[in-house]
Amino acid sequence: MQDSTPPGGRAIGLAAATLLATAISLSVHAHETCAPAAAWTVPGSGPVDTTQILTRAAAAQVTLLGETHDNPDHHRWELQTVAALAALHPKLVLGFEMFPRRVQPVLDRWVAGELSESAFLKATEWSQVWGYDAAFYLPLFQFARINRIPMLALNVERSFTHTVGAKGLAAVPQDQREGVSEPAPASEAYLARLFEAYSHHPNEKNSTPARSDPAFHRFVEAQLVWDRAMAQALADAAARDPEALVVGVMGSEHVAHGDGVPHQLDSLGIKRVVSLLPWGADADCSDLTADLATAVFGLPAEQPGPAAPPPPLLGVQIEDAPAGIRVVAVSPGSVAATSGLQADDVLTEAAGTPVKTTGELKAIVVRMAPGTWLPLKATRKGKSIELIAKFPPAK
Protein backbone atom coordinates (compact mmCIF):
# COMPACT_ATOMS: atom_id res chain seq x y z
CA MET A 1 0.00 0.00 0.00
CA GLN A 2 1.36 3.43 -0.89
CA ASP A 3 1.69 6.31 1.56
CA SER A 4 1.78 9.22 -0.87
CA THR A 5 -0.66 12.08 -0.35
CA PRO A 6 -3.43 12.09 -2.96
CA PRO A 7 -3.72 15.22 -5.09
CA GLY A 8 -6.03 18.09 -4.27
CA GLY A 9 -8.68 18.34 -1.61
CA ARG A 10 -12.44 18.62 -1.36
CA ALA A 11 -14.11 21.88 -0.48
CA ILE A 12 -16.47 20.32 1.98
CA GLY A 13 -16.95 23.32 4.25
CA LEU A 14 -15.87 24.35 7.70
CA ALA A 15 -17.59 21.45 9.50
CA ALA A 16 -15.50 18.75 7.86
CA ALA A 17 -12.29 20.74 8.21
CA THR A 18 -13.00 21.22 11.90
CA LEU A 19 -13.62 17.49 12.33
CA LEU A 20 -10.29 16.72 10.67
CA ALA A 21 -8.42 19.21 12.83
CA THR A 22 -10.06 17.78 15.93
CA ALA A 23 -9.12 14.23 14.93
CA ILE A 24 -5.47 15.24 14.45
CA SER A 25 -5.16 17.27 17.64
CA LEU A 26 -6.91 14.95 20.10
CA SER A 27 -4.67 13.89 22.98
CA VAL A 28 -4.89 10.66 24.94
CA HIS A 29 -6.46 11.08 28.36
CA ALA A 30 -7.54 7.50 28.98
CA HIS A 31 -5.52 5.04 30.99
CA GLU A 32 -2.87 3.10 29.10
CA THR A 33 -4.40 0.33 27.00
CA CYS A 34 -3.38 -1.71 23.96
CA ALA A 35 -5.26 0.86 21.83
CA PRO A 36 -5.53 4.19 23.69
CA ALA A 37 -8.68 6.25 23.32
CA ALA A 38 -8.73 9.11 20.81
CA ALA A 39 -5.76 7.71 18.90
CA TRP A 40 -4.98 5.34 16.04
CA THR A 41 -3.10 2.09 16.67
CA VAL A 42 -1.60 -0.33 14.17
CA PRO A 43 -2.29 -3.85 15.48
CA GLY A 44 0.93 -5.68 16.25
CA SER A 45 2.93 -2.44 16.03
CA GLY A 46 1.57 0.35 18.19
CA PRO A 47 0.30 3.95 18.02
CA VAL A 48 0.50 5.72 14.67
CA ASP A 49 0.20 9.39 13.81
CA THR A 50 -3.32 10.35 12.76
CA THR A 51 -2.15 12.21 9.68
CA GLN A 52 -0.13 9.20 8.54
CA ILE A 53 -2.93 6.66 8.78
CA LEU A 54 -5.58 8.94 7.25
CA THR A 55 -3.25 9.87 4.39
CA ARG A 56 -2.66 6.19 3.76
CA ALA A 57 -6.39 5.48 3.82
CA ALA A 58 -7.07 8.39 1.43
CA ALA A 59 -4.50 6.99 -1.05
CA ALA A 60 -6.11 3.52 -1.20
CA GLN A 61 -8.41 2.25 -3.91
CA VAL A 62 -10.89 1.05 -1.28
CA THR A 63 -11.04 1.88 2.43
CA LEU A 64 -13.29 -0.25 4.62
CA LEU A 65 -14.89 0.97 7.86
CA GLY A 66 -16.23 -1.73 10.16
CA GLU A 67 -18.93 -1.22 12.76
CA THR A 68 -21.16 -2.85 15.31
CA HIS A 69 -24.52 -1.78 13.94
CA ASP A 70 -26.14 -0.70 17.23
CA ASN A 71 -23.12 1.04 18.80
CA PRO A 72 -23.61 4.85 18.62
CA ASP A 73 -19.90 5.62 19.05
CA HIS A 74 -19.05 3.45 16.06
CA HIS A 75 -21.28 5.64 13.89
CA ARG A 76 -19.77 8.85 15.31
CA TRP A 77 -16.31 7.49 14.53
CA GLU A 78 -17.38 6.65 10.98
CA LEU A 79 -18.64 10.19 10.39
CA GLN A 80 -15.42 11.68 11.78
CA THR A 81 -13.31 9.39 9.60
CA VAL A 82 -15.32 9.97 6.43
CA ALA A 83 -15.12 13.73 6.97
CA ALA A 84 -11.35 13.51 7.34
CA LEU A 85 -11.01 11.37 4.20
CA ALA A 86 -13.24 13.74 2.24
CA ALA A 87 -10.97 16.63 3.21
CA LEU A 88 -7.93 14.71 1.95
CA HIS A 89 -9.34 13.27 -1.28
CA PRO A 90 -11.04 15.18 -4.12
CA LYS A 91 -13.39 12.32 -5.04
CA LEU A 92 -15.23 10.08 -2.65
CA VAL A 93 -17.82 7.31 -3.09
CA LEU A 94 -19.58 5.91 -0.01
CA GLY A 95 -20.80 2.31 -0.16
CA PHE A 96 -23.20 0.89 2.43
CA GLU A 97 -24.00 -2.68 3.44
CA MET A 98 -27.36 -1.38 4.63
CA PHE A 99 -28.90 -1.09 1.15
CA PRO A 100 -29.71 -3.78 -1.44
CA ARG A 101 -28.77 -2.94 -5.01
CA ARG A 102 -32.36 -2.47 -6.16
CA VAL A 103 -32.65 0.80 -4.16
CA GLN A 104 -29.66 2.44 -5.90
CA PRO A 105 -31.95 4.90 -7.76
CA VAL A 106 -33.31 6.05 -4.38
CA LEU A 107 -29.78 6.71 -3.10
CA ASP A 108 -29.06 8.75 -6.22
CA ARG A 109 -32.18 10.85 -5.68
CA TRP A 110 -31.27 11.37 -2.02
CA VAL A 111 -27.78 12.63 -2.82
CA ALA A 112 -29.28 14.92 -5.48
CA GLY A 113 -31.45 16.49 -2.77
CA GLU A 114 -34.76 15.29 -4.20
CA LEU A 115 -36.05 13.44 -1.11
CA SER A 116 -36.83 14.30 2.50
CA GLU A 117 -35.49 12.07 5.26
CA SER A 118 -38.84 10.38 5.75
CA ALA A 119 -39.34 9.84 2.02
CA PHE A 120 -35.81 8.46 1.72
CA LEU A 121 -36.27 5.97 4.55
CA LYS A 122 -39.65 4.89 3.20
CA ALA A 123 -38.39 4.46 -0.36
CA THR A 124 -35.41 2.39 0.78
CA GLU A 125 -37.72 0.29 2.99
CA TRP A 126 -35.30 0.94 5.84
CA SER A 127 -37.29 -0.66 8.65
CA GLN A 128 -37.92 -3.80 6.62
CA VAL A 129 -34.54 -4.17 4.92
CA TRP A 130 -32.21 -3.10 7.72
CA GLY A 131 -34.20 -2.40 10.87
CA TYR A 132 -31.53 -0.75 13.04
CA ASP A 133 -32.30 2.74 14.32
CA ALA A 134 -31.98 5.11 11.35
CA ALA A 135 -30.77 7.84 13.73
CA PHE A 136 -27.42 6.02 13.91
CA TYR A 137 -26.90 6.40 10.16
CA LEU A 138 -28.63 9.63 9.17
CA PRO A 139 -25.71 11.98 10.05
CA LEU A 140 -23.52 10.09 7.57
CA PHE A 141 -26.29 10.01 4.97
CA GLN A 142 -26.81 13.76 5.43
CA PHE A 143 -23.07 14.37 5.12
CA ALA A 144 -23.13 12.61 1.76
CA ARG A 145 -26.18 14.62 0.66
CA ILE A 146 -24.89 18.09 1.55
CA ASN A 147 -21.51 17.35 -0.05
CA ARG A 148 -22.96 15.53 -3.09
CA ILE A 149 -20.87 12.44 -2.34
CA PRO A 150 -22.29 9.46 -4.30
CA MET A 151 -23.81 6.72 -2.16
CA LEU A 152 -23.58 3.11 -3.32
CA ALA A 153 -25.84 0.19 -2.41
CA LEU A 154 -23.52 -2.77 -1.72
CA ASN A 155 -25.86 -5.53 -0.64
CA VAL A 156 -28.12 -8.08 -2.28
CA GLU A 157 -31.59 -9.22 -1.32
CA ARG A 158 -31.78 -11.25 1.88
CA SER A 159 -33.80 -13.84 0.01
CA PHE A 160 -30.71 -14.54 -2.12
CA THR A 161 -28.38 -15.28 0.82
CA HIS A 162 -31.16 -17.13 2.67
CA THR A 163 -31.67 -19.40 -0.32
CA VAL A 164 -27.94 -20.07 -0.48
CA GLY A 165 -27.94 -20.88 3.24
CA ALA A 166 -30.89 -23.24 2.84
CA LYS A 167 -30.12 -24.92 -0.49
CA GLY A 168 -26.60 -23.92 -1.55
CA LEU A 169 -25.35 -21.53 -4.23
CA ALA A 170 -25.75 -24.14 -6.98
CA ALA A 171 -29.51 -24.03 -6.39
CA VAL A 172 -29.67 -20.33 -7.36
CA PRO A 173 -29.93 -19.82 -11.14
CA GLN A 174 -27.40 -17.42 -12.66
CA ASP A 175 -30.12 -14.93 -13.60
CA GLN A 176 -31.18 -14.72 -9.93
CA ARG A 177 -27.71 -14.02 -8.50
CA GLU A 178 -27.92 -10.24 -8.97
CA GLY A 179 -24.72 -10.27 -10.99
CA VAL A 180 -22.62 -11.68 -8.15
CA SER A 181 -19.72 -13.75 -9.46
CA GLU A 182 -18.30 -16.93 -7.95
CA PRO A 183 -16.70 -16.07 -4.59
CA ALA A 184 -13.05 -16.78 -3.86
CA PRO A 185 -12.74 -19.76 -1.48
CA ALA A 186 -12.56 -19.05 2.25
CA SER A 187 -9.21 -19.26 4.02
CA GLU A 188 -8.76 -21.84 6.75
CA ALA A 189 -8.72 -19.07 9.37
CA TYR A 190 -12.03 -17.71 8.06
CA LEU A 191 -13.56 -21.20 8.06
CA ALA A 192 -12.56 -21.58 11.71
CA ARG A 193 -14.20 -18.29 12.66
CA LEU A 194 -17.31 -19.09 10.65
CA PHE A 195 -17.59 -22.49 12.29
CA GLU A 196 -17.45 -20.85 15.71
CA ALA A 197 -20.34 -18.60 14.64
CA TYR A 198 -22.19 -21.55 13.13
CA SER A 199 -21.83 -23.50 16.37
CA HIS A 200 -23.91 -20.82 18.10
CA HIS A 201 -26.41 -20.65 15.25
CA PRO A 202 -29.95 -21.94 15.93
CA ASN A 203 -29.96 -25.69 15.29
CA GLU A 204 -33.37 -27.20 14.71
CA LYS A 205 -32.24 -30.71 15.55
CA ASN A 206 -30.31 -29.64 18.67
CA SER A 207 -27.42 -31.77 17.45
CA THR A 208 -23.73 -31.05 17.93
CA PRO A 209 -22.51 -29.28 14.77
CA ALA A 210 -19.54 -30.55 12.78
CA ARG A 211 -17.34 -29.01 10.09
CA SER A 212 -18.48 -31.77 7.73
CA ASP A 213 -22.18 -30.84 8.04
CA PRO A 214 -23.72 -29.95 4.65
CA ALA A 215 -25.56 -27.19 6.52
CA PHE A 216 -22.22 -25.66 7.57
CA HIS A 217 -21.04 -25.76 3.96
CA ARG A 218 -24.16 -23.83 2.94
CA PHE A 219 -23.64 -21.42 5.85
CA VAL A 220 -20.13 -20.68 4.53
CA GLU A 221 -21.44 -20.27 0.97
CA ALA A 222 -24.01 -17.73 2.14
CA GLN A 223 -21.34 -15.72 3.98
CA LEU A 224 -19.01 -15.80 0.98
CA VAL A 225 -21.80 -14.63 -1.34
CA TRP A 226 -22.50 -11.77 1.07
CA ASP A 227 -18.81 -10.78 1.17
CA ARG A 228 -18.44 -11.18 -2.60
CA ALA A 229 -21.49 -9.07 -3.38
CA MET A 230 -20.17 -6.12 -1.38
CA ALA A 231 -16.62 -6.53 -2.66
CA GLN A 232 -17.83 -6.67 -6.24
CA ALA A 233 -19.89 -3.49 -5.86
CA LEU A 234 -16.87 -1.71 -4.36
CA ALA A 235 -14.52 -3.03 -7.06
CA ASP A 236 -16.93 -1.99 -9.83
CA ALA A 237 -17.09 1.53 -8.37
CA ALA A 238 -13.30 1.72 -8.24
CA ALA A 239 -13.09 0.55 -11.86
CA ARG A 240 -15.65 3.13 -13.04
CA ASP A 241 -13.60 5.97 -11.55
CA PRO A 242 -9.97 5.05 -10.81
CA GLU A 243 -9.39 8.52 -9.34
CA ALA A 244 -12.06 8.04 -6.66
CA LEU A 245 -11.56 6.74 -3.14
CA VAL A 246 -14.30 4.17 -2.54
CA VAL A 247 -15.25 3.81 1.14
CA GLY A 248 -17.26 0.82 2.33
CA VAL A 249 -19.33 0.96 5.53
CA MET A 250 -20.25 -2.49 6.85
CA GLY A 251 -20.29 -4.81 9.84
CA SER A 252 -16.87 -5.42 11.35
CA GLU A 253 -17.11 -9.17 10.77
CA HIS A 254 -16.86 -8.50 7.02
CA VAL A 255 -13.64 -6.51 7.53
CA ALA A 256 -11.69 -8.04 10.43
CA HIS A 257 -8.65 -10.21 9.71
CA GLY A 258 -8.90 -9.54 5.98
CA ASP A 259 -10.84 -12.74 5.37
CA GLY A 260 -14.20 -11.35 4.27
CA VAL A 261 -14.56 -8.40 1.91
CA PRO A 262 -10.78 -7.64 1.77
CA HIS A 263 -10.10 -11.20 0.60
CA GLN A 264 -12.77 -10.96 -2.10
CA LEU A 265 -11.47 -7.53 -3.18
CA ASP A 266 -7.98 -8.98 -3.58
CA SER A 267 -9.33 -11.74 -5.82
CA LEU A 268 -11.03 -9.05 -7.92
CA GLY A 269 -7.74 -7.24 -8.47
CA ILE A 270 -8.14 -4.48 -5.88
CA LYS A 271 -4.77 -4.53 -4.14
CA ARG A 272 -4.66 -1.19 -2.30
CA VAL A 273 -7.18 -1.81 0.47
CA VAL A 274 -7.12 -0.19 3.91
CA SER A 275 -9.24 -1.67 6.72
CA LEU A 276 -10.12 0.52 9.70
CA LEU A 277 -11.99 -0.58 12.82
CA PRO A 278 -13.16 1.05 16.05
CA TRP A 279 -11.70 -0.37 19.26
CA GLY A 280 -13.73 -0.29 22.47
CA ALA A 281 -12.16 0.50 25.83
CA ASP A 282 -13.37 -2.84 27.21
CA ALA A 283 -12.15 -4.93 24.26
CA ASP A 284 -9.85 -7.89 24.95
CA CYS A 285 -6.28 -6.95 24.04
CA SER A 286 -5.59 -10.53 22.98
CA ASP A 287 -7.92 -9.86 20.03
CA LEU A 288 -5.70 -7.02 18.76
CA THR A 289 -3.66 -9.30 16.52
CA ALA A 290 -1.44 -8.05 13.71
CA ASP A 291 -3.83 -9.31 11.04
CA LEU A 292 -6.93 -7.63 12.52
CA ALA A 293 -6.90 -4.45 10.42
CA THR A 294 -4.66 -1.77 8.96
CA ALA A 295 -5.41 0.33 12.06
CA VAL A 296 -7.94 0.69 14.87
CA PHE A 297 -9.23 3.85 16.54
CA GLY A 298 -9.56 3.71 20.31
CA LEU A 299 -12.94 4.76 21.65
CA PRO A 300 -13.45 6.06 25.19
CA ALA A 301 -15.33 4.03 27.74
CA GLU A 302 -19.04 4.74 27.83
CA GLN A 303 -20.12 6.77 30.82
CA PRO A 304 -22.79 5.08 32.93
CA GLY A 305 -26.22 6.62 32.76
CA PRO A 306 -29.85 5.68 33.27
CA ALA A 307 -30.45 2.24 31.86
CA ALA A 308 -32.57 2.28 28.73
CA PRO A 309 -35.66 0.12 28.90
CA PRO A 310 -35.08 -3.23 27.20
CA PRO A 311 -36.57 -3.49 23.72
CA PRO A 312 -39.75 -5.53 23.37
CA LEU A 313 -38.98 -9.11 22.42
CA LEU A 314 -41.22 -11.88 21.16
CA GLY A 315 -38.63 -14.48 22.10
CA VAL A 316 -38.39 -16.28 18.77
CA GLN A 317 -35.78 -17.22 16.22
CA ILE A 318 -37.23 -16.58 12.78
CA GLU A 319 -36.33 -16.72 9.10
CA ASP A 320 -37.91 -15.64 5.85
CA ALA A 321 -39.97 -18.34 4.12
CA PRO A 322 -41.88 -18.43 0.82
CA ALA A 323 -45.27 -18.12 2.55
CA GLY A 324 -44.28 -15.74 5.36
CA ILE A 325 -41.94 -15.85 8.33
CA ARG A 326 -41.04 -19.27 9.66
CA VAL A 327 -40.52 -19.70 13.40
CA VAL A 328 -37.27 -21.64 13.87
CA ALA A 329 -37.42 -21.81 17.67
CA VAL A 330 -39.38 -20.35 20.59
CA SER A 331 -37.64 -19.39 23.84
CA PRO A 332 -39.22 -21.02 26.92
CA GLY A 333 -41.18 -18.57 29.06
CA SER A 334 -41.12 -15.87 26.37
CA VAL A 335 -44.00 -13.73 25.12
CA ALA A 336 -44.17 -15.97 22.06
CA ALA A 337 -44.29 -19.15 24.15
CA THR A 338 -47.08 -17.73 26.30
CA SER A 339 -49.04 -16.83 23.18
CA GLY A 340 -48.90 -20.43 21.99
CA LEU A 341 -46.55 -19.82 19.06
CA GLN A 342 -44.57 -22.94 18.09
CA ALA A 343 -41.55 -23.86 16.02
CA ASP A 344 -42.43 -24.32 12.33
CA ASP A 345 -45.41 -21.96 12.56
CA VAL A 346 -45.37 -19.49 9.65
CA LEU A 347 -46.35 -15.96 10.65
CA THR A 348 -48.36 -14.12 8.01
CA GLU A 349 -49.83 -11.12 9.83
CA ALA A 350 -49.01 -8.92 12.85
CA ALA A 351 -51.21 -6.11 14.23
CA GLY A 352 -53.53 -6.52 11.26
CA THR A 353 -50.68 -5.97 8.78
CA PRO A 354 -49.41 -8.67 6.40
CA VAL A 355 -45.75 -9.55 7.09
CA LYS A 356 -43.55 -11.24 4.53
CA THR A 357 -40.02 -10.66 5.89
CA THR A 358 -38.35 -10.82 9.28
CA GLY A 359 -37.59 -7.10 8.99
CA GLU A 360 -41.27 -6.26 8.66
CA LEU A 361 -42.12 -8.25 11.79
CA LYS A 362 -39.26 -6.73 13.79
CA ALA A 363 -40.35 -3.22 12.79
CA ILE A 364 -43.81 -3.92 14.27
CA VAL A 365 -42.54 -5.60 17.44
CA VAL A 366 -40.05 -2.83 18.26
CA ARG A 367 -42.94 -0.32 18.39
CA MET A 368 -44.88 -2.32 20.98
CA ALA A 369 -45.30 -0.51 24.29
CA PRO A 370 -45.11 -2.37 27.63
CA GLY A 371 -48.42 -3.94 28.59
CA THR A 372 -49.86 -3.98 25.06
CA TRP A 373 -51.16 -6.92 23.05
CA LEU A 374 -50.08 -7.90 19.54
CA PRO A 375 -52.54 -9.93 17.41
CA LEU A 376 -50.79 -12.48 15.22
CA LYS A 377 -51.92 -14.71 12.38
CA ALA A 378 -50.00 -17.78 11.33
CA THR A 379 -50.33 -21.11 9.59
CA ARG A 380 -49.61 -24.37 11.40
CA LYS A 381 -49.48 -27.57 9.38
CA GLY A 382 -51.49 -25.87 6.64
CA LYS A 383 -54.20 -24.50 8.95
CA SER A 384 -54.69 -20.82 9.79
CA ILE A 385 -54.47 -19.85 13.47
CA GLU A 386 -54.82 -16.59 15.42
CA LEU A 387 -52.76 -15.79 18.52
CA ILE A 388 -52.28 -12.89 20.93
CA ALA A 389 -48.78 -11.93 22.09
CA LYS A 390 -49.09 -10.13 25.43
CA PHE A 391 -46.11 -7.94 26.33
CA PRO A 392 -45.50 -7.53 30.08
CA PRO A 393 -46.10 -4.16 31.70
CA ALA A 394 -43.19 -1.88 32.54
CA LYS A 395 -41.48 -2.62 35.83
The CATH number for 242's domain is 3.40.50.11550
Beta bridge partners of 37: 298
Computed from CA positions of residues 100, 101, 105, 110, in that sequence, does the dihedral angle turn out positive or negative? positive
Would you say residue 368 lies in a domain? yes
Give φ, ψ of 97 to 5 degrees. Answer: -60, -25
Lowest mean pLDDT among 153-162, 203-212, 253-262: 203-212
CB-CB contact of 48 with 41 (8 Å):
yes
User: What is the structure's pLDDT at 101?
Assistant: 97
- 113 and 249 co-located in one domain: yes
Give 214's Cβ-side CA count (13 Å radius).
Answer: 5
Q: For residue 293, what are the domain limits?
A: 14-158+220-298
Would you say residue 375 lies in a domain? yes
C-alpha 198 chain-centroid distance: 18
Q: How many domains does the chain have?
A: 2
Beta bridge partners of 317: 329
Would you say residue 205 lies in a domain? no
Reference 66, options 290, 301, 296; nearest CA is 296
- 265 and 373 co-located in one domain: no
Length of the chain: 395
- Burial of residue 4 (number of CB atoms within 10 Å: 0-12, 13-18, 19+): exposed
**How do residues 233-248 score in pLDDT, each as one tens digit?**
999 999 999 999 999 9
**How do residues 256-295 score in pLDDT, each as one tens digit?**
999 999 999 999 999 999 999 999 999 999 999 999 999 9
- 139 and 288 co-located in one domain: yes
User: What is the structure's pLDDT at 367?
Assistant: 86
User: What is the structure's pLDDT at 202?
Assistant: 56
User: What is the structure's pLDDT at 203?
Assistant: 55
CB-CB contact of 301 with 30 (8 Å):
yes
pLDDT band at 306 (very low <50, low <70, confident <90, very high): confident
- 106 and 227 co-located in one domain: yes
Would you say residue 62 lies in a domain? yes
Please state, in angstroms and rounded to a whole number, the distance separating the CA atoms of residues 152 and 22.
28
CB-CB contact of 80 with 74 (8 Å):
no
